[in-house]
Amino acid sequence: MNVSRFNVPRLPRLRSFKFTPVALIAFFLLYNLIGFVFSSAFAPAVQAGPTAPAKPFIPANMPTSGDAELDQVILRAGEEYGVDPRLLHAVIWQESKYNQNARSHAGAQGLMQLIPATAERFDCQNMSDPRQNVAAGTKYLRFLLQRFNGNVVLALAGYNAGEGSVDKYNGVPPYSETQNYVRIITSRYGKTYHPLLAPEQARVQFGLVPQTEQVAQLAE
């Protein structure tokens, strides 16, 4: 039997492989392009939330009123006027126990128990306002510390009985209230001398900035 009479289909000839790398690269690029388009279209939109404000620095050994906002008022006043906030806490605790509405029979008002004459002298318009009251009381305490060369005992005696009484008796006046006042606050504060520093120096001296900032400022 002659097989040449039948039409036997021929197998297609294999093409050259020289274009295979190009085809693979094209396929790879097309695949990634499609994936990018579809992932962008169907991926859930994610919006960045608001950045939380930096938590203000408070030294670990700083007393607290139990009110974070008031603690910041006291800290800022100490920083601004170069007075150790720990001393301010001790004075406020003794004067009002952190009660901004405290009022004495003698007419002293607010956290630092300012009398009207002292409030006016140190520019406090509203004695019931914590910021104004603490600022004025801090300025008065700063004034007394300067007047008595950093002597905490005499400055406290002047705050309680007036600087004129300290001058009159050349020391703590012989009033039981004033003597107890001085004893209690110096015991809570733990110091009888307060350095007279510029605010930027006081921040470092009293540890009111983080350790890294203290080192940087001391190096300047």
Q: State how far the Cα of 131 lies from the Cα of 72, in Å rounded to an integer.
A: 10
CATH of residue 141's domain is 1.10.530.10
Instruction: Determine, yes or no, domain membership for 11.
Output: no
Expressed as residue numbers, the domain containing 208 is: 68-219
What are the catalytic residues? Answer: 95
DSSP annotation of 220 reads -
Q: State how far the Cα of 138 lies from the Cα of 160, in Å rounded to an integer.
A: 14
- Structure-block tokens of residue 209: 């900035």
Contact 117, 135 (CB under 8 A): no
How many structural domains is the chain composed of? 1
Contact 166, 154 (CB under 8 A): yes
Q: State how far the Cα of 195 lies from the Cα of 205, in Å rounded to an integer.
A: 9
Instruction: Determine, yes or no, domain membership for 211.
Output: yes
- In this prediction, residue 15 has a pLDDT band, given cuts at 50, 70 and 90, of low
Per-residue pLDDT averaged across 23-42, rounded?
A: 56
Contact 144, 161 (CB under 8 A): no
pLDDT tens-digit series, residues 150-162: 999 999 999 999 9
Query: What's the gap between Cα 90 and its chain centre?
Result: 20
Instruction: Determine, yes or no, domain membership for 145.
Output: yes
DSSP annotation of 50 reads P
This prediction's pTM: 0.73
Instruction: Determine, yes or no, domain membership for 153.
Output: yes
Q: Is the pLDDT of residue 171 over 80?
A: yes
